[in-house]
């Protein structure tokens, strides 16, 4: 899904906003989410999409080991705060599928693909 979103963003020249909610459905993956938060917080270049791309492309099979050489400060209160926000959103929405695509707060109907969103970028609401 991440690769598809990257391609879509290129096609629409970033005229849509993508928000990732990182959550897991098992405690064993919580630390990975926290590492991703830490990497994004530590990044001063604004390249969150590149961090996610690198993670999905080569880091995911390595799990937490992928982050060891980054020297991330895992004691930052911002990490726990962001983790709590993502978990609260998951609990509030009761969404359990991954990936789940929402458009303006509504789940993308099954009859549409993420790539179809390129046809809606010029609509005025």
Domain count, the chain: 1
Look at residue 43 and give its three-state secondary structure: coil
The CA distance from 125 to 46, in Å, is 29
pLDDT at 125 over 80: no
The per-residue pLDDT for range 2-20, each reduced to its tens digit, is 999 999 999 998 888 888 8
- The answer to whether the Cα torsion of 28, 91, 99, 97 is positive or negative is positive
CATH of the domain at 52: 3.40.30.10
pLDDT at 124 over 70: no
pTM as predicted: 0.82
Q: Tell me whether residue 49 is in a domain.
A: yes
Q: Tell me whether residue 86 is in a domain.
A: yes
- Going by pLDDT thresholds of 50, 70 and 90, the confidence category of residue 98 is confident
The CA distance from 48 to 19, in Å, is 11
Domain coverage including residue 72: 2-120
């Amino acid at each position: 899904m991440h690769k598809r979103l990257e391609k879509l963003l290129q096609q629409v020249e970033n005229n849509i906003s993508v928000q990732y909610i990182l959550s897991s459905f098992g405690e064993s993956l919580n630390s990975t989410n926290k590492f991703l938060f830490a990497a994004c917080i530590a990044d001063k270049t604004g390249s969150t999409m590149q961090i996610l791309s690198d993670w999905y492309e080569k880091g995911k099979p390595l799990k937490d080991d992928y982050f060891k050489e980054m020297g991330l400060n895992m004691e930052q209160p911002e990490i726990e705060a962001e983790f709590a926000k993502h978990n609260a959103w998951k609990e509030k929405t009761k969404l359990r599928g991954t990936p789940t695509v929402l458009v303006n707060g509504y789940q993308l109907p099954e009859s549409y693909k993420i790539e179809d969103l390129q046809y809606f970028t010029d609509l005025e609401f």
